[in-house]
Amino acid sequence: MTRVTKNLVRQRAASRCEYCRLHQDDSPLATLHIEHIRPRKHGGSDHEGNLCLACIDCNLHKGSNLTGIDPETQTVTELFHPRQQKWETHFAWDGVLLVGKTAVGRTTVEVLAMNSDDQLELRSIV
């Protein structure tokens, strides 16, 4: 992956995790990662359309997952795709709690552990 591509991904995301919206300035100990939306092991490429910016927590929890189980319907559901879907369609804030508004949102919140104790504590101080 070229430096130009990495810079494009960071600029496009305005230095925010494209999943939980954590800003790089609020993550002083860990640089936000360039994440493959469709992982390489599933045929994903380094093309800019398959890349997004992700905080370490979201990236590590997502891993190579493409789907998860919607906690409301118990059905297999795709995860949020930052290049193809609008964040506001699938997520909303309830104070520091990130709420999934759709099956995609609920599943992504669950799989990426976006409301872990650590995430909630971090959001409460930023």
| pLDDT tens track, the chain, 126 positions | 899 999 999 999 999 999 999 999 998 788 999 999 999 999 999 999 999 999 999 999 999 999 999 999 999 999 999 999 999 999 999 999 999 999 999 999 999 999 999 899 888 887
The reported pLDDT for the residue numbered 122 is 87
Q: What are phi and psi of 56, to 5 degrees?
A: -60, -40
Per-residue model confidence (pLDDT) at position 4: 95
Is the dihedral angle over the CA atoms 121, 122, 125, 126 positive or is it negative? negative
Whether the CB-CB separation of 104 and 79 falls below 8 Å is answered with yes
Q: What is the pLDDT of residue 27?
A: 85
pLDDT at 125: 84
* Distance separating the N- and C-terminal Cα atoms of the chain: 32
